[in-house]
Amino acid sequence: MNEGAILQLVTFKLGTEEFGVDILKVQEINKMMNITKIPNAPAFIEGVINLRGKIIPIVDLRKRLGFREQPYDKSTRIIVVELEGLVLGFIVDSVSEVLRIPENTIEPPPSMVAGIESEYIEGVGKLDDRLLILLELKKIFSSPERKDIENIDMN
């Protein structure tokens, strides 16, 4: 880790847990919109959206990470990210803020955090009175799952 480096993170919530992803991976944040269901898609794929002429697969991050499902509301957002050339949208309960935190406040993840396996977690950030779970988005999908998503992208 780079001493004195600052991470810029987009923070969001799933239930009471707060997560962060590197702002450089985030293309945009949108309000919930109509999602077209895809037959035979993996369970965590809600469907696709048409974002200015580009078809983008939408992943329900609650489902993917094993959280209990809950209805979408006015706070629900779609975070559009680019992961190694693949553009995806993640449905989250709400987007909190853009945070700048020193890289040296990030600790390696314990084996399990908030019921999520540590392979999906880059680290845990300690902020005054709260913990921020840094997600490693590209690890949220196995290779076969990524192929499933890429196939949706092609159609």
Residue 97 has pLDDT above 80, yes or no: yes
| Domains of the chain by start residue, with CATH | 6-154 (2.40.50.180)
Q: What percent of the chain has pLDDT over 70?
A: 90
pLDDT category at 140 given cuts 50, 70, 90 is: confident
Please tell me what DSSP assigns to residue 145: H
Average of pLDDT values for 126-141?
84
The Cα–Cα gap between 108 and 111 comes to: 9
DSSP, collapsed to helix, strand or coil, labels residue 65 as coil
**Residue 51, pLDDT score:** 93
CB-based contacts of 145, cutoff 8 Å, min separation 6: 42
pTM to 2 decimal places:
0.86
CB-based contacts of 108, cutoff 8 Å, min separation 6: 123, 124
Q: What digits encode the pLDDT tens for the residues 17-71?
A: 999 999 999 999 999 999 999 998 888 899 999 999 999 999 999 988 888 989 9
